[in-house]
Every structure is written in structure tokens, then in C-alpha cells.
Amino acid sequence: MSVRFAPLWLMLPVALLLLNACAPAPIVTPEPFKPEASKPQKPESVVVQEKPELSVAILMSSPAKVFAETARDITSALKQTQKQNVTEVVFTGDKKKDTSLIEKIRTGHYSHVVALGKRAANAAARLHNELVVFSHVFNDEDPAFASNKMKGVSFLPSPDQLFKDWKALSPTLESVALLTSKNHDHYVAVAKKAADKQGIKLVHQVVENDKEFVYVSKRLPPTVQGQWILPDYKILSRSALKTVVSFNAKNGKQSVVFSKGLLSFGALLYVNVPNATVADLVVERLRDSLGKKTIPGQDVLIARHHNLVINKKVAGQLNLTIPPQYQHTVSR
């Protein structure tokens, strides 16, 4: 079942309730990917209603650029439609300081907290009065952050869109492997479903470390034509990534990766969800929960758009024909 969220955020609350009730899993299937549009569509006409003012604290796990950009995008999006009071807090990794920062948040009477990154999510999980939207947490199931007052936005690509794109590029693709660490059941289930839709069998295996990641990757059955590599830091090392991607390229297996650098090692596709997309979903969740005591909707929203880069050289080596609508995504 597919539900279009972004243009319909002003639909009737009943419809929303119905949607929530009908959803089989807490993960929302995104809209089909539109290659022509590089940025998510903004609502063409917005009727601003008087709503209570948002008092948001954005917690960043570190001063990393990705967090800063996302925070900036969130603030920017909120400014457009909402009275708001946004405070940005950056964790340093120092336990004492971080505890002190949390205490300030606790006493700051914020209605909402946005946690960017796992460290921030961990801290925010200790808040009880504020509604928390977390993002940039790779594995929200370990530990399980989601609750009525704390829900997230995934920065992983939409499996539906990914497999659709992948199938379009490689029509004969029938079997793909996905190796993850444990506790990725939800996302893997969504991914399997999305793969099935495209007639692709997703072979999933849990591995414990980078060594096993390499070992298993090198011993995938010959029927497996490709491997999707998620940014699963627990089982990845740089050398393992390079080894596996290189190995796949040498053995005619297609690799879908989360790092552009791996294209030069033989990856076929690079998939990445833009920070702005994630920021939009975070803002959406904030608005949805405005004036409420819980955050409605699924535990984790998955982005509906992602950036895609096709490795032309590898595609050529694999005898893949790049469809015209993907030409603009081809790497040079």
C-alpha cells in the first residue's frame, strides 16, 4: 500500500488516522523515485493556520557537517511555516558536559527535541516531557528508540525506489544479497518486500564483523548477482569495503554502496538520501505532533527520495544499458 505524504499533509485528520490504522508496519513506503526531480517537491500552496509555537531543541551528536547541515535545513523549513523557537545543542562526547547539556534541555521547557545521531538519540531518550524526533541513527532497533513520544526518520534510501532503479538499470537482476549486523529486522523486511515487487530475491545474512562480512561476501552463491551494502558501521571497515567491492567487481557482481568513493573500486550504484530530505521529514513529524502528547505515525519514516549515481564504466563492463531517464545520474 502506498501513501503519498508530502503533498497531503493538510488532508483531513481522519484520513491520517485511517492510514495509520491500515499500515502493516511502522515503516512507510515512500513515493516512487522521480529521477527528473533532484529535490523534493515543496507544497505549492500552503494555508498557514494559527498553531502553537514550536519550541525545538536540536541535539547534534557531534559538530560533524552532516548534522550541522541537517539542523540548518530543519530550522530553515520550520521558519517558513511555523513560529518557532529553535535551539541547537552540539554534544562533544564528554560525558559530564553532555549530561549538563541534557539537563539544560530538560529545564528549557522545549516542546520538541530533534536528535541527530545516535549519541544525541541516546541522550534524548532520557527526556520524558518532550516529544523527540531522531534522525541519522543507522540502527534504531539496537537499542529500540521508538516509542509514542520518540519517533524517527531514517537516512537510509527507500528500498522500493532503490530496487526499482536497480531493476531498471539491470533488468536481468534476480538475486541480491544484503549483509547486515543483527537487529535490522524491520528495514530488511521492507527491503525484501520491495525486492519482491521487482522480482528480485533479497538474500539477507547477519554477520558479526568486518572479517565475516568479507568472508561471506566472497562466498555468496553464484546465483546472487548483486550486493547492497548499507552503512552498517558495526560490520564494516574501510579495508573490508574495498575488498568486497573489488571482489564483486572482479567477479561480475553488482554493488550498491553508500559511499561515492567505492565507485572507483568497482561499485555500480551509489545511493544517498540528501540531508534536506531528511530535514523535511523531521519537520513533518514535528508539525504532525504539534499540540499533541505523542508523535503520530510510524516509528521510523523512510525518505522518499534519494540521490543516485551510476558507475558508467562498471555498467559497461557488466553489459548494462543505462536507460535514458538515468543518464543524468551517470558518473563521469
Interface residue list for another protein (CB under 8 A)? 61-62, 64-67, 117-119, 136, 138, 207-212, 214-215, 218, 231, 233-242, 258-259, 261-262
Q: How far is the CB of 105 from another protein (least distance, A)?
A: 20
Cβ at position 304, least distance to another protein in Å: 20
Q: Which three cell numbers stand for residue 100?
A: 549538563
Beta strands in 139-224, from DSSP E residues, in sequence order: 150-153, 175-180, 201-206
Q: Which helix (H) or strand (E) holds 316?
A: helix 312-317
Q: Which is nearer to another protein, 221 or 291 (CB)?
A: 221
Q: With contact defined as beta carbons under 8 Å apart, do 136 and 147 qualify?
A: no
Between residues 89 and 173, which has the closer beta carbon with respect to another protein?
A: 89
User: Which residue's CB is nearer to another protein, number 25 or number 64?
Assistant: 64
Is the Cβ of residue 138 or residue 326 nearer to another protein in the bound state?
A: 138
- Give the three cell numbers for residue 330: 551517470
Nearest distance from C-beta of residue 215 to another protein, angstroms: 4
Angle ∠(217,260,233) on CA atoms, nearest 5: 50
Nearer to another protein, 175 or 237 (CB): 237
Residue 177 or 236: which CB sits closer to another protein?
A: 236
Q: Which residue has the cell 539491470?
A: 170
Contact between 322 and 310 (Cβ < 8 Å)? yes
CB nearer another protein, residue 146 or residue 214: 214
Q: Provide, rounded to whole angstroms, the least separation between the CB of residue 217 and another protein.
A: 11
Side-chain-side CA neighbours of residue 321 (13 Å)? 4
Q: Where are the beta strands (DSSP E) in the chain?
A: 54-60, 84-90, 112-116, 131-135, 150-153, 175-180, 201-206, 226-228, 254-257, 269-272, 300-301, 307-310
Question: Min. distance of Cβ 137 from another protein in angstroms?
Answer: 9
Residue holding cell 539496537?
A: 142
Supply the minimum distance, in Å, between the C-beta of residue 155 and another protein.
8
Calculate ∠ Cα 280-23-123, nearest 5°.
50
Q: 195 vs 300, which CB is nearer to another protein?
A: 300
- Compute the least distance from the CB of residue 262 to another protein, in Å: 6
DSSP state of 237: -
Cell, residue 164: 526499482
Q: How far is the CB of 3 from another protein (least distance, A)?
A: 28
CB of 247 to another protein, least distance (A): 11
Q: Which residues contact 167 (CB under 8 A, 6 or more apart)?
A: 173, 198, 199, 200
Query: Which of 201, 234 has the CB closer to another protein?
Result: 234
Supply 245's cell numbers. Answer: 567491492
User: Considering only CA atoms, which of 304, 278, 272 is closest in space to residue 74?
Assistant: 278
